[in-house]
Amino acid sequence: MIKPYKSDALTPRFVCDAERRAELRREAEQLPSVLLNSSSASSAVMLGAGYFTPLDGFMNRADALSIADEMRTQSGLFWPVPILNRISDEGDIAGERITLRDSEVAGNPPLAIQTVESVDTLRSDELMHIAQCVFGTTDHEHPGVNTFLEQGAIVVSGPVEVLNFSYFETEFPNTFRTAYQIREDIERRGWKKVVAFQTRNPMHRAHEELCKTALERTASDGVVIHMLLGKLKPGDIPAKVRDDAIRKMVDLYFPENTVIISGYGFDMLYAGPREAVLHAIFRQNLGASHMIVGRDHAGVGDYYGAFDAQTIFHTDVPEGVLDIEIFEADHTAWSKKLNQVVMMRDAPDHQKEDFILLSGTRVREMLSAGESLPEEFSRPEVAKILMEFYRQN
């Protein structure tokens, strides 16, 4: 199986030993504490789950600025997005160890303990600079930029010991999986080559065919459908509905033992190309040898070009840094001429009107109005689940 990123083994920060975890929970109640925002809490979950190998904790101000400018930490580790614990008031930080409390769970229980290495402050111009580099814009209408700029300016760096996986384990017990759990599943199935598919949306027939095409063309043994379970922008389909729709599609339309359905506990950044590189790193960590990057991967609105998330792997990712390979996919849709789903670049004789194309806005309008989606666009069983959600909302 492919090695984790820059490491011979995963470095999950979750404390597996039950006795040690109980000891840390007792310690957590005695330490000064800070309340994590959702972004920092989900990053702690990703650190705990091994997805952010080889990181051992949150970065400092210097690393954040270095990553913004050069996509490298001060020590030279290639990394596309700063992983920060940002707070508004450092008054609660006293001593070398602090409890990180979970803002996303009732009662704000301890999520992790952090050993504090530094406490820095990012100036407003530095925050704007990081936003511009990471998101390609400082427009507050961009949901990722808006979230990023609303967080505190104080950066608390240092390694973490993670005590649990927040709400992801309890709300998504059949779907949330750590990187090491997925690796174990891949090994148990005897898969050698694996394709990862990122999604924050329900999967329609184009996505289904894209996974099947990638499996065939990479000669892989299976695909990991890896869905985001964290916070999304308003209007996106909730994780539970998306999970149900994807499971129905896989049950009915994929061959047995070719798919692992799983999810990860991270908030969507909508950072387009930079986020695509982050996705590649943690897909390598879960054991995937290939990752599908299609049109507008991790994008939002018109902030990025349709295939900028593919281009970055050629322009900004140094050769040999990543072991995972990128399967570059074109826009995929139903061909009226061929009566099947195809990638548009594979049908050069087609015009736009030869495809069945529906925008996300149009799909939402149809579902909200109780209209059936064309079977060429969405499997009827999937459409039924989505229609029921829109009917109730």
Instruction: Give the catalytic positions in this structure.
Output: 200-201
Q: How many other β-carbons are positioned within 10 Å of the β-carbon of residue 117?
A: 13
| CA atoms 14, 16, 18, 20: torsion sign | negative
Whole-angstrom distance, CA of residue 280 vs CA of residue 277:
5
Cβ partners under 8 Å of residue 359, min gap 6: none
Residue 68 to residues 65, 79, 196, 264, 277: CA-CA distances in angstroms? 5, 9, 26, 24, 13
Tokens of 238: 């909730």
3-state secondary structure of 296: coil
Alpha helices in the chain (DSSP H): 18-28, 38-48, 61-70, 124-135, 143-150, 168-171, 179-189, 205-217, 239-253, 273-285, 308-315, 360-368, 380-392
Q: Classify each residue of 341-374 as buried b or exposed e, where b means 16 or more C-beta atoms within 10 Å of its C-beta.
A: bbbbeebeebeeebbbebeeeebeebbeeeeebe
Question: Between vectors from CA 208 to CA 309 and to CA 358, what angle results, nearest 5°?
Answer: 75
- DSSP-assigned letter for residue 305: -
Residue 380 to residues 53, 367, 377, 383: CA-CA distances in angstroms? 40, 12, 9, 5
Please state at what angle helix 308-315 crosses helix 273-285, rounded to 10 degrees: 70
Cβ partners under 8 Å of residue 137, min gap 6: 131, 145, 303
Q: Which helix (H) or strand (E) holds 196?
A: strand 194-199
Question: Between vectors from CA 194 to CA 193 and to CA 199, what angle results, nearest 5°?
Answer: 165
